[in-house]
Amino acid sequence: MTARWRMGDGATLTLAINLADQPAAFPEMADPLFALGEAGSPGSFGAWIDR
């Protein structure tokens, strides 16, 4: 699951989480603010800002 928000400065905050028990494709994380697990692996989570 991926969610994106446009911030006041024009940047985009992206949150991605894999709740499945199988690997899933994640969008590319250029500079993660926070990451839990390897991107796309079961139970993984990532948050980043695209400017």
Domain ranges of the chain: 2-50
The predicted-structure confidence for 10-26, as pLDDT tens digits, reads as follows 999 999 999 999 999 99
pLDDT bucket at 31, cuts 50 / 70 / 90: confident
Closest CA to 41 of 15, 20, 11, 13: 20
- Return the pLDDT at 2: 95
Global confidence as pTM: 0.87
Structure-token pair, residue 37: 């697990």
